[in-house]
Amino acid sequence: MTALPDALALRQRLAAGEASVEATLARTLQRCAAREGDVGAFAALWPERALERARELDRARAAGEPCGPLFGVPVALKSNLCVAGEVAHCGSRVLEGWRAPYSAGAVERLLAAGAVLLGATHMDEFGFGSSGENSAFGVPRNPWDGARTCGGSSSGSAAAVAAGLVPLALGSDTGGSVRQPAALCGVAGLKPTYGRVSRYGLVAFGSSLDCVSPLARSVRDLELALSVLSGADGRDATCLELPPSEPPAAAAPARLDGLRFGVAEAQLAALEGDARARFDAACAALEALGAERRTVELDLAEHALAIYYVVATAEASSNLARFDGVRYGPRRAGDGSLQGMVAATRGELFGAEAVRRILLGTYVLESGYRDAWYGTAQRARERLRAQFARAFGEVDVLVSATTPGPAFRLGERADPLAMYRSDVLTVPASLAGLPALSLPGGFVERDGRALPLGLQLSAPAREDARVLRVARALEAARPEFARPSPVALAEASA
Amino acid sequence: MAAPMADEATEIVLATARLARLELAPERAAELAPQFAAILAAFGRLAELAEGEAPEPRADLVRDVTREDVPRPGLGREAFLAAAPERAEAHLRVPRAVGRDA
């Protein structure tokens, strides 16, 4: 899947002096100018900042300074990650024009590793969506079929990687917002264990669920990105006090002998017919590597959507209470009173899905309903966690499809409930705080075009390395499960 | 936790919007009401899980996250005010909230 080099290969060439960072960045910017119109991934490009940074890196290398693990690698950032002085509007008019006064912990780590920040990508408003369509500023188009969605909510980050514009991008994953677009765009995405990467400077959606998460062309790049991004950060009270993870090993594991992988029958029912066939082929490929397939019980996963949408909207309504026309972004006058100004600002500037989620979240937290909705959801979440723990007593990793089917057409899921159902396979791991990875899992055809599918692997909390190891083995053994998108191929041959 | 009927849902949407400090025109509330009712009806499946014991929260999730109580540099007033919609010298400016006729 790497007609264009992945981040690790690019870094090695740049660190060896085979090309300058500035010249490589200039080509990246040309590529964006040529192809961005096909996909519409970026909300903002930062050419001046990036070129200045590239020259600084070239000078440092020439002076004999050590090259970091992402030396010279251009990286795209979802527009809910703060970069000091740059827009971070989260796809929302409520933050239009607002510039972040500080940088996120993940952004600091990228810079310390030598990365070049290229720009901010489009997203569903505050992460509320599974297609990218809930953005106030732009809807990315799928590099495999421009009439289809990229998935969401990290739509632009996935589109930028899949279109060959950048080898690495950051998104955020609350209920599948990196794994789903990775699957629908045919790239790899990792939601780390909750707390493995600092949330400092990530604009909050669901604070008990949000994870800064990388997207890349190869699984080893996800491993590389996690080794850069992970580690303790005292500015995020939920960040785990663990050292950074290990950088990728030189070679992918050749075999998976002794590995037990679990499949929950309850999760197979959601799959479209041909997607089920591709899923079975991916499981057979794991078995061919020596792994053993087992069936596990995960019937509470059927309730995960309801649990998730109660917990996540409750947290979102609390987190979005801060956007009131006083401290950030634009303001609407309303009737001239303070209360009127706040209500008018929020009522006019939040998009339709944000309004829906704020209302749902406020309702389930309301006095008199709180225990019936939010309390029940929290207790059910604990039961789901316990069911995962039992499953991991029997198997090493769980395997499912990432989405029920391939990318759907833009505008196809106007009914909010139909859109929420897109998340059915990704929210269980989010609720349990597990590491979960989506890697390319083959193709199906729709309207005469090949469209990618994702395969999702999850493991117990803190076992991020396990899903990465299994994914690398499968990626190496079955390269035909992935290939560059038509837009990336056009660029590679240009 | 029964979901509201669509006709009562409009009133619930308007009342919830007031709690959420969201200005919502009545016609917009009427549009949202059936969606709101349908979503709550779908999530009403949670009631099936209301019974039964939930596991205790795990002890390994509980730790002291407070840091030493020592001063350290903050964001800085100028950086904060620069990002605000309206300021008056060193303050955020908002419409008068005290001493204003109702």
Closest CA to A151 of A169, A168, A134, A126: A134
- Averaged pLDDT, B31-49: 90
A161-191 pLDDT, tens digit each: 999 999 999 999 999 999 999 999 999 999 9
Q: Is A318 a catalytic residue?
A: no
Closest CA to A185 of A132, A237, A119: A132
**Inter-residue contact B4 to B37 (CB < 8 Å):** yes
Residue type, A172: S
| Alpha-helical segments (H) within A103-248 | 105-112, 155-162, 179-185, 219-229
What pLDDT does B55 receive? Answer: 67
Tokens (6 digits) for B89:
């010298």
Q: Is A103 a catalytic residue?
A: no
The alpha-carbon gap from B80 to the nearest alpha carbon of chain A, in Å, equals 7
CATH number of the domain at A96, please: 3.90.1300.10
Q: Is A177 a catalytic residue?
A: yes
Closest partner residue to B20 (CB to CB) among A238, A338, A362 is A362
| Whole-number Cα distances in Å, A138 to A90, A124, A204, A401 | 11, 9, 21, 28
Confidence of residue B58 (pLDDT cuts 50, 70, 90): low
User: Which of B94, B98, B101 is the best residue to mutate to test the A interface, defined by the most A CB atoms within 10 Å of its own CB?
Assistant: B94
Q: What is the 3-state secondary structure (H, E, C) of B1-53?
A: CCCCCHHHHHHHHHHHHHHCCCCCCHHHHHHHHHHHHHHHHHHHHHHHHCCCC
Question: Which ipTM score applies to this complex?
Answer: 0.91
Q: Which helix (H) or strand (E) holds A31?
A: helix A21-39
CB contact under 8 A, A303 and B38: no
Q: Which helix (H) or strand (E) holds A22?
A: helix A21-39
CB contact under 8 A, B46 and A331: no
Q: Strand A292-296's sheet: what is its strand order? A: A42-45, A116-121, A74-78, A168-173, A211-216, A188-191, A436-446, A449-458, A397-401, A260-264, A292-296
Is 70 exceeded by the pLDDT of residue A239? Answer: yes
Averaged pLDDT of chain A: 96
Catalytic residue of the set A177, A213, A438, A485 = A177
User: Does the structural domain B6-49 have CATH classification 1.10.20?
Assistant: yes
Neighbours of B50 (CB within 10 A): 14
Closest partner residue to B1 (CB to CB) among A340, A343, A372 is A372
Task: Find residue A338's DSSP bridge partners.
Answer: none
Q: Which residue of A has its CA nearest to B18?
A: A343
Q: Is residue A107 part of a domain?
A: yes
What pLDDT does B83 receive? Answer: 85
* Domain encompassing residue A190: 7-254+464-492
What pLDDT does A149 receive? Answer: 98
CA–CA gap between residue A331 and residue A337 (Å, rounded): 13
Residues 6 or more apart in contact with residue A252 via CB below 8 angstroms:
A219, A220, A472, A473, A475, A476
**Inter-residue contact A180 to A425 (CB < 8 Å):** no
The alpha-carbon gap from B29 to the nearest alpha carbon of chain A, in Å, equals 10
What pLDDT does B96 receive? Answer: 87
Neighbours of B100 (CB within 10 A): 10
Q: Where are the domains of chain B?
A: 6-49
CB contact under 8 A, B23 and A346: yes
CB contact under 8 A, B55 and A385: yes
Confidence of residue B102 (pLDDT cuts 50, 70, 90): very low
Is 60 exceeded by the pLDDT of residue B80? Answer: yes
Is 60 exceeded by the pLDDT of residue A40? Answer: yes
> Half-sphere exposure (CA, 13 Å, Cβ side) for B17?
28
Closest CA to A457 of A476, A472, A479: A472
